[in-house]
Amino acid sequence: MKTRGFSLIELMIVVAVIGILAAIAVPNFLRFQARSKQAEAKANLRGIFVGERAIFSEKGKYTTDIGDVGFAPARGNRYYYDLGDTASNAPCPGGESRASNTLTYTTPLCAITADSFRYGAFYVAGTLNSTSPTPGAGAVTWASTANGVTAPAAFWGVFGTCPRCSFNATAIGQIDNDTGVDFFAVSSEFMQMTAGACAEEVAQNHPGTAMNVRNDVNCD
């Protein structure tokens, strides 16, 4: 009985087809995987909003203290959460560090770093856990507010004099191992995109809804 094997051309065709399928499937899988990680930021920013609203209902003010808000996400967080420095409306200069198996704290307690003890030093490099992260000038503006609070030039902290005040918090994360970052913001006010590059384009976000200011999946 005579048997016949595959020719070299047939093998090359099969390899080429597999390569094409992989070129299509792998990037889509990585993109889907990265998007699934964004659920962490959305859920935790919602938790910050709920905590802030509870404080406002009881005391008529917002806060940037993570302890007052009751914000304590489980270890293994990929995002850096920043409630801001109200004195300067800039990113928090202190907070809870998750760079080792033991949590350490630096005042003011207004941020929680990404869990670099689990994921590595890359998660504290560059703009992730420093005072430098910005989504780009003009990326988000507040819609007109009922309480007369002026729209802020920065993203972080409590704005206005309470009870006529508002708050804004952010989540910054590295979800696909490139040089760019994922950037979400949540506010007690309506927010809308104006000129944000690589953002999830939405006309307007309701208070308490996490807005994707820079989408790391789409940007790079």
DSSP symbols for 32-78: HHHHHHHHHHHHHHHHHHHHHHHHHHHHS-----HHHHT--PPS---
pTM for the structure as a whole: 0.78
Structure tokens at 76: 């293994």
Tell me if 60 sits within 8 A of 162, measured CB to CB. Answer: yes
Tell me if 102 sits within 8 A of 158, measured CB to CB. Answer: no
Distance, in Å, from the CA atom of 89 to the CA atom of 36, rounded to the nearest integer, reads: 30
Distance, in Å, from the CA atom of 11 to the CA atom of 29, rounded to the nearest integer, reads: 26
Note down pLDDT in tens along the chain; length 220 residues. 555 666 777 677 777 777 776 666 656 666 666 677 888 999 999 999 999 999 999 999 999 999 999 999 999 998 989 998 877 777 888 899 998 899 999 999 999 988 988 888 766 643 444 334 444 433 455 544 444 445 455 678 888 888 888 888 988 887 776 667 788 889 888 877 665 556 665 666 788 888 887 777 777 6
